Structure 1
Amino acid sequence: MTTLLESDEHKSLREAVSAFARNHPRATGPAESRHFWQEAGKLGYIGVSLPEAYGGGGRGVTELALVLEEMGAAGNPLLMMIVSPAICGTVIARFGTDEQKQTWLPGIADGTRLMAFGITEPDAGSNSHRITTTARRDAATGDWLLTGRKVFISGVDIADATLIVGRTEDARTGKLKPCLFIVPRDTPGFERRQLDMELHATEKQFELTLDDVRLPADALVGDEDAGLLQLFAGLNPERIMTAAFGIGIGRYALSRALDYARERTVWKTPIGAHQAIAHPLAQAHIDLELSRLMTQKAAHLYDAGDDMGAGEAANMAKYAAGEACVKAVDQAVHTLGGNGLTREFGLATLITAARVARIAPVSREMILNYVSHQTLGLPKSY
């Protein structure tokens, strides 16, 4: 499934990833998911957007989103693709020191190392300005001390480190400013607790506690005075990749429904011949295609260095893909009827998984707020 925006190189990449992903059984557990991740890393798919100097493919978020979409369409959406290469890899590649790049990027690129991302807090979800995880300097040693809590952090148990968003206090203004720290998994004072989720996914969710976690000065990524610039350098790719994640899941669900609708015969003809079945599936396909176009636009803008334009398009793409994903999964389950809820057809678990594309990393309501204020120029209600 290609579009006019794709070059021959992109089409070839899409075909190669699709063939690779379809030749692997759908991952139902951590071991299978890890094996799939490692194989994808060996082929260069995980690190396609990272710099060639550090073992990556030297491409962009456009190609990385394409890879994730095709993996999802084959039934193997990798949530950590959004986190490790897209957010953490991008931030380190853009703002990290040479030592940080040498230490982390080659492993992230070839799939041998994983990095989680910690931003959300119990009292700071959509409003990242309310983050209270605090980073302060030890005047005697120059070390950083981090204290705070994070929640709904994916894959911490399998990650070698977590990129933590903290805040420093500016002594001149008293304002708290966001900054980013690499926290290795076994750092003293860095504790995790797995959350009990109804969501069926190979990647687990965690609550993190940081109790005076001591980090060397070089754990800081970028400039402590950069403010939101560094943070949003990772959040735009996160939205683009979440859109690709949703489109892939929606395509997988739709393909299963189409196979069933072509074969299932209740009276004289396959059920797919009836407009009550055919038209909703056609609408699902249209919505997925439209959301893909916006996702490609957002990725192209980001790769071209247009952070402002990419921010607007990334939010729209994530909104459109989240809605399209939920509708496609719902219609697929409905098409199969009772069979849509059986383990055999593998659609029931997607009912909750599809919600990820709608509510994370930012809810559809907050995206509508963004478009209302930033694009349409309407006043804020908050």
Structure 2
Amino acid sequence: MTTLLESDEHKSLREAVSAFARSHPRATAPAESRHFWQEAGKLGYIGVSLPEAYGGGGGGVTELSLVLEEMGAAGNPLLMMIVSPAICGTVIARFGTEEQKRTWLPGIADGTRLMAFGITEPDAGSNSHRITTTARRDAATGDWLLTGRKVFISGVDIADATLIVGRTEDARTGKLKPCLFIVPRDTPGFERRQLDMELHATEKQFELTLDDVRLPADALVGDEDAGLLQLFAGLNPERIMTAAFGIGIGRYALARALDYARERTVWKTPIGAHQAIAHPLAQAHIDLELSRLMTQKAAHLYDAGDDMGAGEAANMAKYAAGEACVKAVDQAVHTLGGNGLTREFGLATLITAARVARIAPVSREMILNYVSHQTLGLPKSY
């Protein structure tokens, strides 16, 4: 599936990733997912958006979102693609020191190293301004000390480090000053607890506890006074990649439903000939294609350096793709009837997975708030 917005290079990349992803069985276990990740890394797909000088492909979020979409459409959506190269890799590439770039980017690019991302807290989900994880300087050594909690953090057990969003306090205003730290997995005081999720996914979710975690001064990524600029440099790609994740899952579910609707015969007629089956599937396809166009727009704006335009488009793309994904999966299961809930057809597990694209990393309600305030100029209710 290609669009008029794609160059010949993008079309070739899409075709290559699709062929690669379809040549691998659907990963249902962590070991299978890790193998798929490693193979994708060797081929340059994980690091396609990272600078060539540090082992990447020199592309942007446009190329990375294309890769993730095609992986999802083949049945292997890699959640850590959103986290490791898109958020952490982007932030380090834009704001990291030369040493941080040389240490982390080549491994992130070739898939041999992973980095998780920790922002959400028990009392600071949608309202990231309420983050309480605190970073303070040790005056004697210059080290940083981090204390706080994070929740719903993906892949911490397989990540070499976690990019933690903390805060310093502006003594003049008392306002949040977000700052980002690279915390290696085995750092003393950095503890994790796996959350008991019903979501079927190869990547596990964790609650993190930071108890006076001591970090050297060079663990800070970027400038401690840069504020929200650095944070949103990672959050806009996160929204774009989540949209690609949802579109890929939706395409995979729709393809399974179409195969079934063409072959399943009742009263000598394939069920796909009936409008009650055909029209909802057509609507699902239209919704996925429309969300795809907005995702491509958001990615192009981000890669062009238009952070403000990309913020609006990224939120819209994530909203549209989340809705389209949930509807596509639901209609696919409904098309198959009882077979849609069997392990053989592999759709039932997508019912919960599809919800991720709707509620994370930001809920559809908060996106509607963003659009109503930022785009339409309506007053806030909070």
TM-score relative to the length of structure 2: 1.00
1:167 aligned counterpart, secondary structure = strand
| Alpha-carbon distance, 1:268 to partner | 1.4
Q: Name 1:161's counterpart in structure 2.
A: 161
Q: Name 2:115's counterpart in structure 1.
A: 115
CA distance in 1, matches of 2:268, 2:2: 35
1:50 aligned counterpart, secondary structure = coil
2:173 aligned counterpart, secondary structure = coil
Q: Name 1:233's counterpart in structure 2.
A: 233
| Alpha-carbon distance, 1:351 to partner | 0.1
CA distance in 1, matches of 2:361, 2:172: 33
Runs of 4 or more, structure 1, over 3 Å off, are none
CA distance in 2, matches of 1:38, 1:219: 26
Q: Deviations over 1:244-280 (max 9, x none)?
A: 0000000000000000000000111100000000000
| Alpha-carbon distance, 1:211 to partner | 0.2
CA distance in 2, matches of 1:181, 1:380: 32
| Alpha-carbon distance, 1:40 to partner | 0.1
1:145 aligned counterpart, secondary structure = strand
| Alpha-carbon distance, 1:19 to partner | 0.1
| Alpha-carbon distance, 1:172 to partner | 3.4
| Alpha-carbon distance, 1:15 to partner | 0.3
Q: Name 1:335's counterpart in structure 2.
A: 335
2:183 aligned counterpart, secondary structure = strand
2:266 aligned counterpart, secondary structure = coil
| Alpha-carbon distance, 1:116 to partner | 0.1
Q: Name 2:106's counterpart in structure 1.
A: 106
In structure 1, the gaps of 5 or more residues are none
CA distance in 2, matches of 1:248, 1:25: 16
In structure 2, the gaps of 5 or more residues are none
CA distance in 2, matches of 1:108, 1:30: 18
CA distance in 2, matches of 1:64, 1:122: 30
CA distance in 1, matches of 2:125, 2:301: 26
CA distance in 1, matches of 2:348, 2:239: 25
CA distance in 2, matches of 1:172, 1:236: 29
CA distance in 2, matches of 1:172, 1:250: 49
TM-score relative to the length of structure 1: 1.00
CA distance in 2, matches of 1:316, 1:187: 38
| Alpha-carbon distance, 1:224 to partner | 0.2
Q: Name 1:138's counterpart in structure 2.
A: 138
CA distance in 1, matches of 2:122, 2:276: 44
Q: Deviations over 1:182-239 (max 9, x none)?
A: 0000000000000000100000000000000000000000000001000000000000
Q: Name 1:181's counterpart in structure 2.
A: 181
CA distance in 1, matches of 2:18, 2:176: 45
| Alpha-carbon distance, 1:171 to partner | 2.8
Q: Name 1:270's counterpart in structure 2.
A: 270
Greater shift, 206-215 or 163-172, is seen at 163-172
2:208 aligned counterpart, secondary structure = strand
CA distance in 1, matches of 2:172, 2:270: 72
CA distance in 1, matches of 2:237, 2:169: 27
| Alpha-carbon distance, 1:317 to partner | 0.1
Q: Name 2:4's counterpart in structure 1.
A: 4
The count of aligned residue pairs is: 382
| Alpha-carbon distance, 1:174 to partner | 3.0
Q: Deviations over 1:308-353 (max 9, x none)?
A: 0000000000000000000000000000000000000000000000
CA distance in 2, matches of 1:100, 1:338: 52
Matches within 5 A, 1:277-296: 277-296=277-296
Greater shift, 164-173 or 139-148, is seen at 164-173
| Alpha-carbon distance, 1:169 to partner | 1.4
Q: Name 1:77's counterpart in structure 2.
A: 77
1:210 aligned counterpart, secondary structure = strand
| Alpha-carbon distance, 1:307 to partner | 0.2
2:162 aligned counterpart, secondary structure = strand
1:196 aligned counterpart, secondary structure = coil
| Alpha-carbon distance, 1:170 to partner | 2.2
CA distance in 2, matches of 1:298, 1:224: 28
Q: Deviations over 1:75-121 (max 9, x none)?
A: 00000000000000000000000000000000000000000000000
CA distance in 2, matches of 1:170, 1:22: 51
CA distance in 2, matches of 1:171, 1:381: 28
CA distance in 1, matches of 2:237, 2:24: 26
| Alpha-carbon distance, 1:173 to partner | 3.1
Q: Deviations over 1:346-377 (max 9, x none)?
A: 00000000000000000000000000000000
Q: Deviations over 1:48-97 (max 9, x none)?
A: 00000000000000000000000000000000000000000000000000
CA distance in 2, matches of 1:341, 1:173: 55
Q: Deviations over 1:110-150 (max 9, x none)?
A: 00000000000000000000000000000000000000000
1:197 aligned counterpart, secondary structure = coil
1:177 aligned counterpart, secondary structure = strand
| Alpha-carbon distance, 1:43 to partner | 0.2
2:49 aligned counterpart, secondary structure = coil
2:296 aligned counterpart, secondary structure = helix
Q: Deviations over 1:2-50 (max 9, x none)?
A: 0000011100000000000000000001000000000000000000000
CA distance in 2, matches of 1:216, 1:6: 44
| Alpha-carbon distance, 1:176 to partner | 2.8
Q: Deviations over 1:151-198 (max 9, x none)?
A: 000000000000000001123333331000000000000000000001
| Alpha-carbon distance, 1:297 to partner | 0.1
Identity of aligned residues (%): 98
